[in-house]
Structure 1
Amino acid sequence: MLALGTYFVGLCIGVASFKLDGVAFGLTLLTGWVMTVNGARRMISTVAHQCVHAAFSGDKRFDMAFAEVFAVLTQTQTAADYRREHFELHHRHDVFSTIDDPSAKLLWKAGFRAGASTKRLWWNLLLTTVSVRFHGAFLRRRITSQMRGAMTWQRVGAALVMLMLLTGLVSQLSLHAVMLGAVFPVVVLYQNSVLLEFISEHAWFVEPSGLGRKKYIHATHSWGRFCGRSAPKRQGGSAVRYGLDWMRWVMEHLAYHLPVRLVILPGDLSQHDFHHRRPATPCWTTAAYAREEDVRNCDERWPSYTEFWGLHHAISHVFDGIASSKRERSGMD
């Protein structure tokens, strides 16, 4: 419920910010955007994600109905589509991280092609975040999925709630305020969050080797993605230099690592590698601690855990893999 509350409060704050001026307007709008995306991503990538795995309540019918409500409120793909693409395809050993993986297919269509240089991949990532074609195709996919969804009372009720909320906001302010304060973060910022999370998540298109068992690909092709870096240490330098190192460290965390944690890797996404090793675990609500416990007591037959500190390091690792991978495994030209 905290994710849902964050989402609704973020929408209201983002729209209400248009009653303000100057710095107050900018800070309030930014706060609304962050809360909206953070709430929406946790609703889908954490709660609905566990629902499609039937791990939220243990009751599959209830979990799917709950996920459908969240899908309508955020206008993302239906829970039925999510389960089919994620649970039935993405988690299959022979599909995972190949072009047949729906997540990989989305990245391929966005221009992240096997064999491309890392420089080209970085440029493509930058351009994709502002690409009208990418965002239009992504939004069309979301809307098409919703239009195909069954007309259940949960979906209808959730749609009416969103309609009443948006209508109320427009009546109190303006369509312009709603479009920038609410629709923009739900569409563009949300989709960029998904893009940056996906592109740092797995070893896309990379041929597995020496696995032992097929399921071990979920360990070799996944890793932890954590935000932050070690605090500065004084090693004989001047006090001024040490102070500047701390200032840079603080600014880096406030301007980079904290926003990434809130908007790109919220909820349990930092330890998504743990989920791929243990998709049915009941410890998903405390995944960070469960992962650490698994690191200490991991089954020795499984490959060791890998982790990156700083989103850019994880993306660089993915790009190195894509650049060196063969087109044969991608299956598309």
Structure 2
Amino acid sequence: MTLLSLLGGSAISCLIVASPMVYWPLLVFAWLLTVHGARKAQLVICHHAVHANLTGNKLYDKAIFEGLSTFLLIQDYHGYVQDHIRLHHGPALATLEDPDVKVLLRLGFLAGKDREWLWRHLYWTLCSPRCHGLFLRARLKANFMTAPAYRRVMAMVYVSMVFGTLLLIGGWLSWLFAWFIPIVFLYHVAAILQFLSEHLWLYGKPNHKSNREDQK
């Protein structure tokens, strides 16, 4: 169902782009399908794969993770293990050492701000070129610079095949609306909303001793 949503949404987008422009507003619904499939691939399939509980075989799970992460050009297996397993699932969870917290701080979500300010900042961030630039830069770096050599080769071959096909047979407009917009910009929007709502970030453990003293 995940791949059906991802690829089906893209296919519907291609059909809409090939139709008269009066139908183009329907792209919004196709994008919802595509982004749903992409985020579910990362948050469910890749997440379970990195914990080695997707198929029960660690090598198969790793292969699935690397295939999907290459297809979507998101963080590779080894980088995700470091950020998610060793840091996010360790004592660093929801602290300044948590990679997810670092992302939110870089995006300007600062502790101590009131709720109204944070909502305004969220609206601005979702459409901020800087925000999308940071996300895109991190994705490209993970695929072409910091990933293991075999994974960098996978990404280069994949991107070469995509752009080679577009150069040979065209279809740039369809690719832009069916893939680039939902898998880049809208994917980033969904990721930010997920980051913000996943945990109580920087929420310290209650000081029970102080609470008892206050009650005296």
Give the TM interval when normalised to the shorter protein. 0.7 to 0.9
1:107 CA displacement = 0.6
Alignment match, 1:140: 137
Q: Distance in 2 between matches of 1:210 and 1:61?
A: 43
1:177 CA displacement = 3.1
* Identical pairs, percent: 29
Q: Distance in 1 between matches of 2:169 and 2:8?
A: 16
Q: Distance in 1 between matches of 2:12 and 2:164?
A: 15
Alignment match, 1:116: 113
Q: Counterpart of 1:199 in 2: which secondary structure? A: helix
Structure 2 gaps, min length 5: 209-216
Q: Distance in 2 between matches of 1:77 and 1:37?
A: 16
Q: Is the 8 A contact 1:97 1:202 kept in 2?
A: yes
Structure 1 gaps, min length 5: 212-333
Alignment match, 2:42: 44
1:9 partner letter: G
2:101 partner letter: A
Q: Is the 8 A contact 1:75 1:146 kept in 2?
A: yes
Alignment match, 1:190: 187
Q: What count of residue pairs does the alignment treat as equivalent?
A: 207
Offset from partner CA, 1:24-67 (integer Å, 9 cap, x none)? 2321x223211211111111100000011111112222211210
Comparing 15-24 with 112-121, which one deviates more in the overlay?
Answer: 15-24
Alignment match, 1:81: 79
Alignment match, 1:209: 206
1:210 CA displacement = 6.1
Q: Distance in 1 between matches of 2:151 and 2:118?
A: 44
1:174 CA displacement = 3.5
1:182 CA displacement = 1.3
**Over aligned residues, Cα RMSD in angstroms?**
2.4
Stretches (4+) displaced over 4 A: 158-173
Q: Is the 8 A contact 1:54 1:63 kept in 2?
A: yes
Larger radius of gyration: 1
Cα gap change, 1:154 to 1:54, in 2 (>3 Å)? farther
Offset from partner CA, 1:2-27 (integer Å, 9 cap, x none)? 31232122223223321112442321
Q: Distance in 2 between matches of 1:196 and 1:153?
A: 28
1:165 CA displacement = 5.5
Cα gap change, 1:168 to 1:7, in 2 (>3 Å)? farther
Cα gap change, 1:103 to 1:187, in 2 (>3 Å)? same
Matches within 5 A, 1:1-333: 2-27=1-26, 29-92=27-90, 94-147=91-144, 148-152=146-150, 156=154, 160=157, 164=161, 168=165, 174-209=171-206
1:78 CA displacement = 0.6
Q: Distance in 2 between matches of 1:163 and 1:24?
A: 32
1:104 CA displacement = 1.0
